[in-house]
Structure 1
Amino acid sequence: MTDGFIDAFLVWIRSAPLMSSVNSFEFDHYAPLIVPVNNENLFFAQSSYLTDVSITLKELPDCVRLLNQLGSQLYSFTVSIVDVCVGNIDITSEIESIYCCNLKKLKMTIYRNMLAYEKYLIPLLQHLSSVKYLTLLLAIYITESNRFVDGFHLERNIVSYMPHLCQFDFHIRSVLKKSPYIELDTIRQSFVKRKSVDCTIEYFNNRYGQCHIYSLPFIGNRLDFISNRFPLFDNKNTFINVTMLLLFDDVKPFENVFFEHITLALPHLRTLEIFNELEQEEKAKIRKNNYIEFSHLSTLIFHYIHMDYGEQLFCRAHLPHLVELVIRNDVLLTIIDQDNQQARNNCLNVETLFIV
């Protein structure tokens, strides 16, 4: 969807008579919208009956402005936020002016590492005290402490501000630079009031650490920066509904058996992205003509990878529905030079190619 179309759509929707009777609005989640800064130019100017909104917005300030504009008429709000950089804008006063006293259902998704979590997102959530059903899918870059987000943090900074809360589902990935070593049980024991929760901690050679905490059953369809140490393969099919997976590891390579397990643990996987520059160590164990099948994979993204992963996915896998490929030029040229029949078969249906 082009920016020109979105702009034209916004002009139309602000004044469309049709919107005067609409009580529920959902817009394409792959098309982030911008809410006007000037409150006199309302986003839903003709929609006094609008109570349910599901939308993707470009930035957090857009979300704050829209909540201010909709105010007490809002009952259900599902929002994804694309750009996590707030910049030099101070939205504290706008957050404090939010009055959504009838908001009962809130789902917020931010998958890029958010820098302004402590400064803006926590105060925003604290101002939405009427919420009864809360879902948070967040990636957070911690800058104001040396602790991962855990159960104590959620209870103290979010749950205690929502006295009517009766259901809280979440998947929160918090990232720390130069993170101190923390025992996994320390995180688990922080969920005193919540039993259906699990977590994992991973440490990398780049001196970053990250902690995933998630309610069960797992509600997300996306996992980012997953290493060999993440408990992806369990006997409970915890992550069976995941469709987007970003793999990252600078400690250990992803071996052939790892990809075999992915096809079993994530049978609905559609997008796979890989960051790993470490050479595979168990190539001698790979059986010839033993192809791994990714039945639903449609998008494959290679950024900083060792050549082994290009060969792994193109030459030793079956990708019958691959239509979008992002790949480094040197990896692509090497695959082409190998003139591998399986690689040619896997590329037959590719419609979109990005060379980086």
Structure 2
Amino acid sequence: MKIKWLDLESSFMKNILHVVDYPNLYGLGLYNIEEETAKYLFTDERLISSIFKNQITTLIIAIDPDKKDWSIMENICNQIFTVFINLTHLIFCHASYKNNARLLFKNRSPTFSSSSLLILNIKVQTFRVCLYILDGRLEQLHTLHIELANILPPSEEIENQRKIPNLKYFVLSCLLKTSSYNQLILPLLYRMTNLEKLALDLTVSVKETFIDGYYLKKNILNHISQLKQFTFDIRSYMFINNEMNLPSKEDIQRRFDDFPYTNVISCVDYFLEYKEGLCHIYSYPFLMKHYEDVTNNFPDGL
């Protein structure tokens, strides 16, 4: 059999994998998988000893969209890193970007690790999980696409000082607004000493100034010297009052004059009734998968 890649739906997985030998198979896509199916599949001695352990380097997992239990992701992750010892690419994909099958560790010290994984695309529940993924247990990882449900300080001490020299490409997005950007996100980025490509998709609560071109140059570009590509879609919300000198859209746009890497489009809205301002900045052409916080002032140029 010369088959190199198989995409399989949950109910047919085991039958198809058992029907013949696949000596050239290196890629596997498992769709609508449930925890019991994964457990049954990943403990099959015949598959483990041949295909899974020795051949599969790229694995795509799509969790059953009707399964919302966070333990599913943890259990499946633990099984994957135990069984697929030569895995280099691991991608968790979902039909909807708000799918709730996210990685959340019940244990304070998760045990998974890999010395071969290079690329990981995953959705997680908390910033704590993100720190665990980047604490050195995936020592060869050079590309990480990670979507968080929220960004809050972890309740326990986690290794978050070690440099992450192997990471070259980092994509970070979060569904919910965070007020911990300076406290959590910036220190994490500063650990990525050899980062070459960065993408941020965030909604941030700020106190004194919007996130604009000056801010990005001072707090990101000046600290990541190897950066070659920077794309972003950042919405910053700020409490406003009558005494503040509020910037206009033109003011914000001027702060991106001579901004490297990309063209930038910006818009500003003030909701006086709620005493709130919104500054929306994004790199152009727009590369993110979805839009957030689109107002009547949203400009052309997507």
Q: State if a TM-score over 0.5 links the two structures.
A: yes
Corresponding residue to 1:32 among 82, 92, 102: 102
Q: 2:218 aligns with which of 145, 152, 156?
A: 156
* Amino acid paired to 1:21: N
Deviation at 1:12, TM superposition (A): 4.5
Equivalent in 111, 119, 134 of residue 42 of structure 1: 111
- 1:84-123 equivalences in 2 (<5 Å): 84-86=151-153, 89=155, 94-97=159-162, 99-123=163-187
Query: Is the Cα contact below 8 Å between 1:75 and 1:102 reproduced in 2?
Result: yes
Question: Aligned ranges for residues 249-264 of structure 1 at < 5 Å?
Answer: none
Answering whether residue 275 of structure 2 is matched by residue 207 of structure 1, we say: yes
| 1:68 maps to 2:132 | no
CA contact (8 A) 2:124 2:130 kept: yes
The answer to whether the 8 A contact 1:71-1:101 is kept is no
TM-score by length of 1: 0.58
The CA distance in 2 between the partners of 1:112 and 1:177, in whole Å, is 17
CA contact (8 A) 2:150 2:175 kept: no
Q: 1:167 aligns with which of 229, 235, 241?
A: 229
Query: Any conservation in 2 of the 1:77–1:105 contact (CA below 8 Å)?
Result: yes
Contact kept in structure 1, 2:115 and 2:139, CA below 8 Å: no
State the Cα distance separating 1:15 from its structure 2 match. 4.1
1:224 aligned onto 2:292:
yes
Q: Deviations over 1:129-158 (max 9, x none)?
A: 21101111111011xx41000111111111
Residue segments in structure 1 that go unaligned for 5+ positions in a row: 240-356
| 1:229 Cα deviation from its structure 2 partner | 2.4
Distance 1:150 1:70 in 2: 35
Partner of 1:333 in structure 2? Answer: none
User: How many Å separate the matches in 2 of 1:15 and 1:90?
Assistant: 25
| Contact 1:13-1:19 within 8 A present in 2 as well | no
What residue number does 1:323 align with?
none
Match of 1:225, SS state, is coil
AA matched with 1:18: V
Amino acid at match of 1:188: Q
Partner of 1:7: 71
1:86 Cα deviation (Å)? 3.2
Q: Deviations over 1:212-241 (max 9, x none)?
A: 11111012233323222222xx3xxx23xx
Query: Identity over the aligned pairs, expressed in percent?
Result: 24
Could you say what secondary structure the match of 1:96 adopts?
coil
RMSD: 2.2
1:176 corresponds in structure 2 to: 238
Number of residue pairs the alignment of both structures matches: 225
Q: Where do 5+ consecutive residues of structure 2 fail to align?
A: 1-65
Distance 1:189 1:161, change over 3 A: same
Pairwise mapping of residues 258-337 of structure 1 onto structure 2 (< 5 A)? none
The amino acid of 2:104's aligned partner reads: I
Cα distance in 2 between the residues matched to 1:3 and 1:141: 28
Give the residue type in structure 2 aligned to 1:193: D
- Residue 20 of structure 1 corresponds to which residue in structure 2? 85
CA distance in 1, matches of 2:233, 2:72: 35
The equivalent residue for 2:252 is 187
1:9, 1:166 → 2: CA distance? 33
In 2, Cα distance between the equivalents of 1:84 and 1:8?
Answer: 21
